[in-house]
Amino acid sequence: MYPSQFRWMLIMSETHMAARKGVSPPMSLYKRKAAAYQQLNAALADPVNKYSFETILGVNAALFVEARIVGPEITRMHLKAFDQLLMARNRRFAEGTDSFATLLRFSIYTAYLLCECEAASRAYLRSTVRASISKFEVIQRWVIMTRQQISQAVSGPSWNYQTRKFQAAKHRLLQHRAIKPLITPSLVYTGYTHIASHFGTLLLLNLSLYELGQDIGSFFLDRLLLIVDNSMDVDRKTGKSLLKLHALPMIMAQARLDVLHHYTRQDLGLDDDVEDESLETRSVMIDALKLFSYLSDSSRKQLIAVLFGWLMDEPSSRMSLSEGILDAVEAETQIN
């Protein structure tokens, strides 16, 4: 771990301890943060060190910590600046995605930090509600089409290898002993962060499958499960998996990077001028999490049931994006 990362870990720990005790952060925290920013600014102003791995990881660590404090709008601006730094580094050294795979993994995951932030302004929300609902509707139409293809592949005389492979990969995901208890819609939540993380994880999973399609989506799911199996710890006494919900987005991000390394840009449908397909995905996630923060507890649970239902092959009225759910979402996010 680089010193710049360690500084921000201390800042996060000190902030967390103050919040747990219900007291104001100590002056030492502000001094530590000021010193950390001075160090980052000095590194960014240095043409030699500006694009170093240590500097970019330091900026990422600052973004990781500050996203919990400053709110979605400011965090979005910080993300944009961070993206520009990453792109400039890549162009400068002409290195492929392999050179900063870890950075992109953190870059995607940063969106999930916003689930701990209160949505900042209803004026900003106005432009995101319809975009989020439209994206939900697009994904559901794709899910319905995919279900029809699976039904035809199972009942029809022809052998549709691609569709059946996708169906099998989804089944393994839903039945995996470590993942199944984390994504089931019957979770008992410990607080807002828990339910928002559940929503975000299911949305990223569905969004990834929609963007990648059946063939590449099967590879993505296989990679996701392989990473889980290779890195999963278990409780020695109970034999239960120690995998946590908040770790799944990180694993999905790594699986998506594996997709980028395995397939060509043409296979993925990426234009030559698209430098990082994760940027649009992350933007969708931020908008959806922002919308989610305004919903009632009932609507939140209904949306989670819908997202989980999209992963199933058998349609269910309870697990579809009905007009009733959409009306409730729009009503609860109305601008007064």
pLDDT recorded at residue 96: 47
Q: How far apart are CA 135 and CA 214, in angstroms?
A: 18
Task: Assess whether 309 and 214 both reside in one domain.
Answer: yes
Q: How far apart are CA 266 and CA 47, in angstroms?
A: 35
Domain end (from 97, 116, 135): 116
Query: Dihedral of the CA atoms 276, 281, 286, 290 (nearest 10)?
Result: 160
Tokens of residue 293, six digits = 């923060």
Cβ-Cβ contacts under 8 Å for 46 (sequence gap 6 or more):
none
pLDDT recorded at residue 133: 85
Query: Under a CB-based contact definition with an 8 Å cutoff, are residues 62 and 37 in contact?
Result: yes
Could you read off the pLDDT of 12-60 as tens digits, one per residue?
888 878 877 888 888 888 898 899 889 988 988 998 888 887 888 888 8
Task: Assess whether 87 and 151 both reside in one domain.
Answer: no
Task: Assess whether 246 and 271 both reside in one domain.
Answer: yes
pLDDT recorded at residue 180: 92
Task: Assess whether 277 and 324 both reside in one domain.
Answer: yes
Task: Assess whether 250 and 318 both reside in one domain.
Answer: yes
The residue whose two tokens read 């791995």 is 53
What is the number of domains present in the chain?
Answer: 2
* Residues present in the chain in total: 336
Q: Which domain holds residue 8?
A: 3-116
Q: How far apart are CA 117 and CA 71, in angstroms?
A: 6
Task: Assess whether 182 and 232 both reside in one domain.
Answer: yes
Spans of the chain, pLDDT less than 50: 96-99, 119-120, 273-275, 317, 336
CB atoms near residue 22 (< 10 Å) = 6
Q: How far apart are CA 71 and CA 263, in angstroms?
A: 36
Task: Assess whether 239 and 212 both reside in one domain.
Answer: yes
Query: Under a CB-based contact definition with an 8 Å cutoff, are residues 285 and 107 in contact?
Result: no
Query: Under a CB-based contact definition with an 8 Å cutoff, are residues 63 and 79 in contact?
Result: yes
Query: Dihedral of the CA atoms 202, 117, 195, 256 (nearest 10)?
Result: 20
Domain end (from 73, 89, 116): 116
Report if residue 121 sits inside a domain: no
Task: Assess whether 139 and 273 both reside in one domain.
Answer: yes
Task: Assess whether 107 and 234 both reside in one domain.
Answer: no
Domain end (from 54, 84, 116): 116
